[in-house]
Amino acid sequence: MSAEIDAKLASLGITLPVAAAPAANYVPFVQTGNQLFISGQLPMENGKLASTGQLGAGIHTPEGQRAAELCAINILAQAQAALGDLGRIRRVVKITVLVSSTPDFYEQHLVANGASNLLANVLGDAGKHARAAVGMASLPLNASVEIDAILEVA
């Protein structure tokens, strides 16, 4: 399974980054039993925050989808750091997508599709998950999107 995941990432032009270190007093992931909880991941790319500000105030849905995709890539990077092998992922159980958005922005669910589509494309059926997509007034470091995840692992 791991080779298939690596091949899929390569076919999508994705190289997983080194998992980001926590920015405060928390750990990036916790495994208990067969569940892996991954702390909120920001849209980091090449070591920098790639998307800041609010959806509906200069940032449009396609840009938010890309930010969500980057968050999902960083979730996979944290899973790789935790497990050593993405093939150990049995299922993405749930993601929570936090979208920094104006009160009149109503497309949080479409922004979330950036992450959902990436996870399903990379992991197949194991990447299909439950989710919540929620609008927020602001997020840490002025990020436009933050996503956490719960995974079932072997």
CB-CB contact of 144 with 67 (8 Å): yes
CB-CB contact of 146 with 101 (8 Å): no
Which residue do the tokens 């935790």 mark? 82
pLDDT, tens digit (0-9, with 9 covering 90-100), for 126-137: 999 999 999 999
CA–CA dist 19, 139 (Å, integer): 20
pLDDT, tens digit (0-9, with 9 covering 90-100), for 32-49: 999 999 999 999 999 999
Give the model's pLDDT for residue 1: 59
Give the model's pLDDT for residue 2: 85
Give the model's pLDDT for residue 23: 81
H or E element: which one contains 96? Answer: strand 89-100
SS3 72: helix
Give the domains, in start order, of the chain with CATH numbers.
2-153 (3.30.1330.40)
Q: How large is the average pLDDT for residues 13-41? A: 95
Nearest Cα neighbor of 145 from 37, 59, 35 is 59
Q: How large is the average pLDDT for residues 115-129? A: 98
Structure pTM?
A: 0.97
